[in-house]
Amino acid sequence: MTIKPRTEPRAPRARRLIAGLAIGLAGLGMVGSAGAADVPPPTAKPTVDAATAPDYMLGTGDKVRISVFGEDRLTGEYVVTGGGNISFPLIGNVPAKGISLETLQDTIQSRLAAGYVRDPKVSAEVLNYRPFYIFGEITKPGEYPYTIGLTVQQAVAMAGGFSYRANTERVFIKQAMETIEKPVRIKKTDPVGVNPGDTIRIGERFF
């Protein structure tokens, strides 16, 4: 009598194939996760020119021109003081630091309307922005006047250029309204914007 070889049921074989496929996919997932963990966190994105934005926030050192229609004695140039105010005729100190021009206009307008000027029309514009600061591995660290559209590359040139020990590929920027500086990569073909009141630190490169 001929004994036929025993054949394995299809169901167990199919289950083993599915289990093997699942283990393989899990392994790939672990490799992918490990690869992602090795990628360093991205540096901060280049800053934008906030000075031209409609919601630009005023700060200490900004000089603004405030016009009151039909009231020449009130129209003039005012500087935001270290205390964050501007001293305005009739109504005294007006908070200005950390608010937009529109908010400043509304504040002055409402105060003047409270018994000083009938139906006042107020407008405001920035004449001179507060300075920026640059220090570290730079030839002439210090305070410099801000101009609209200023870039890190231009700021470095204004300060006499990098020192021979400077890291020319990355800088640290602390914006005026923030407390922590952020690293930013710089390239000749990719300008990085600077905002009024920013502090730029040039680090030392590793030899």
Query: Each residue of 60-111: pLDDT tens digit?
Result: 999 999 999 999 999 999 999 999 999 999 999 999 999 999 999 999 999 9
Separation of alpha carbons 117 and 150, rounded Å = 39
DSSP 24-46: HHHHHHHHHHHHHHTSPPPPPPP
Query: Quick one: pLDDT at residue 189?
Result: 73
- The CATH number that domain 60-128 falls under is 3.30.1950.10
> Tens digits of per-residue pLDDT, 35-50?
433 434 444 454 455 6
Domains of the chain by residue range: 60-128, 130-204
More confident residue, 34 or 127: 127
CA distance 164 to 158: 17
Q: What percent of the chain stands above pLDDT 70?
A: 73
Split at pLDDT 50, 70, 90, the class of 205 is confident
Residue 166's region, left for phi above 0, alpha for psi from -120 to 50, else beta, is beta
- The mean per-residue pLDDT over the stretch 139-167 comes to 95
| Burial (0-12, 13-18, 19+ Cβ within 10 Å), 158 | middle
* Assigned token pair, 77: 């140039």
Average pLDDT across the chain, whole number: 82
Q: Do residues 66 and 108 touch, judged by C-beta distance below 8 A?
A: yes
Q: Please say whether the beta carbons of 107 and 95 come within 8 A.
A: yes
Within this chain, domains 60-128 and 130-204 share the same CATH topology: no
Task: Give per-residue pLDDT as tens, 53-72.
Answer: 667 899 999 999 999 999 99
Q: What is the pLDDT of residue 28?
A: 42
Which bin fits 31, alpha (ψ -120 to 50), beta or left (φ > 0)? Answer: alpha
Q: What is the SS3 assignment for 98?
A: coil
Q: 96: which DSSP letter?
A: -
* Strands of 122-128's sheet in order across: 76-79, 63-68, 122-128
* Residue-level pLDDT at 156: 96
CA 149, CA 39: separation in Å to the nearest integer?
A: 33
Confidence of residue 174 (pLDDT cuts 50, 70, 90): very high
Res 123 pLDDT > 60: yes
Its CATH class, for the domain covering 130-204, is alpha beta
When pLDDT is averaged across residues 7-25 and rounded to a whole number, the result is: 50
Residues 4 and 10: their CA atoms lie apart, in Å, by 17
The predicted pLDDT at position 21 comes to: 45
Determine the pLDDT at residue 48.
53
Average pLDDT over residues 185-198: 87
